[in-house]
Structure 1
Amino acid sequence: MAVPTGTADQAAKPLPAALAVESPADAARGNWVDRRAPAGLRPYLRLARADRPIGSWLLLLPCWWSVALAALMPGIGWSVYAVLLLALFAIGSVAMRGAGCTWNDILDRDIDGRVERTRSRPLPSGQVSVRRAFAFLGLQALAGLLVLACLPPFAMIVAISSLGVVAIYPLMKRVIWIPQLVLGLAFSWGALMGFAALTQSLPASALLLYAGCVSWVIGYDTIYAHQDREDDAIVGVKSSARLFAQNTRPWLVAFYAAAVALIGLALAQAGAGALAYAGLAAFAGHLAWQVWRLDIDDPALCLAVFRSNRDAGLILFAALALQAVFA
């Protein structure tokens, strides 16, 4: 498929109907967007990755960890407001993940058009024009802003501070060999948000949790990047998967071990009890299973192992939430 070369004012040339109804090659066929969404909305839902909710989960989980861990702080506790924050962060994660993916695809549309796995995405395939993509980006950003307006002023400031990192991330694959580090800085911001909203501060436990999340993101996104390793080399895109190559396993051990250690220190700073540490042990076991199971030369397995991080994160959240309830 040709990469669109017109201006943002020109309408995108639509795909043949037989192709337009199917998900891009990097999404599972038969997902809810394919089956249930109105045909006219499908390209926009795919642009926001609504057909692949794993990214929203991975953006949301540090937020939920942060809420549950902040609830353990003296004088905070588990409350109706904490539960409300879980819901607000869920809505915000979907909106901002969609906005981030839209922004990423606007910047990467030429690169995506040269990579087999991404050339059928809405922008490089011509299903959505650049102008309409920008308009859609604005709508998603507005939804995120409405969520932001429900938070205390300090939390709003912390959230807004993340926008610079989010904006530059799509460009980093052209500049540094580990763009996953910048993704980690952006995707882990939620680890600060629960503390910012509940305690109006960023104590040591928040910063340690954030650092642990960054390390976790670098690990799991390295696994994800192995799906595109060969195509990235052809188009000249940098990634930790290309950098680590056959040494990926020991690097994953290092990043995942650092994640567990830093999160463990965050638990200690917050005064967590046995339930929280049991959840961390289960989380660590899941990460160890990922390293053992991984085959970097099997793209389908890389995707499956990457997606399993949602389950690892939910295990840890469940333990932290129970600890907060029974503290």
Structure 2
Amino acid sequence: MALGQNHTTVMRFILLGLTDQADLKQLLFAIFLLIYSMTLVGNLGMIDLIRTSSPLHTPMYFLLSVLSFLDICNSSVFTPMLLTSFLTTDQSISLVGCVVQMALMILHGTGECLLLAIMAYDRFVAICYPLLYYTIMSKHFCVQLVVVTYAVGVFISAVQTGNAFSLPFCGPNIIDHYFCDIPPVLQLACSDTTTANIILLFFSTLVTVPTVSVILVSYAYILVTICRLRSLDAQRKAFSTCASHLTALSLFYGSVFLVYVQPNPESASAYNKILTVFYTIVIPMLNPLVYSLRNKDVKAAVQVRVLNLSQKGIFQKAI
């Protein structure tokens, strides 16, 4: 399809992936297959545990089940294609496939930012206003928050993806990454990208600044409230309810900021790839472990669930 007189629109992109060394590809395939399997098992197990365990039918764990769902979706946007790239010589992705991958990446990334902020607000209400917790964080309100999260995610995704692919692409078509991220795609546009980069910065700021502000303000109030508690045991208990969420926040935002908040991100593509792997593929695997290993309620629910399943298995064998 012609674009002007001397340019042809790019219809496929070449993803360079993580490595071009054939001897590393089999090892990386095994590692990422294990990570993806653990991600699916861990997050599906967390969703099932929250659904079947009545002590976990609280706003906090409802939001955690949504986070697990987002982690499954987010990991599934990147990992299957990355696994395929280790086994085949064809590293290409169609223009449509690139658009879809970017749109889903932005949707789930935006959703995770918003959800982590909502979870911080949930902890703020639970610790600072415990008597009003179930009134404020009602089931209806939690569902509304999740719907708004997805609505905002769809809007930001549509704007950002449209912003990137409204530009003409007439070659080269090589993306030095393992997926269609916005910055490397914009670098391939054969027109001025100043406006596109300003729009990217504006909407990225629009998502991150309010969410980080909510998180910081929420935890500032939480810290003040915990310090005012007279009992050390009460302080320890209050802090333990926030520890898992703080760990998840540190992992996610730490790696995201290290990737995107750089004076010249183009000069450190290999470094960025490793960090991007961490927050797109590794963190979705770690979140269920963080929330289960540091949470007494989840540990107790796991024990009850395992006990019930073993009893059912014994009963079926007896029949």
Q: TM above 0.5, one fold?
A: no
* TM-score of the two chains, using structure 1 as the length reference: 0.38
* TM-score of the two chains, using structure 2 as the length reference: 0.39
Report which of the two has the higher share of strand: 2
Larger radius of gyration: 2
Report which of the two has the higher share of helix: 2
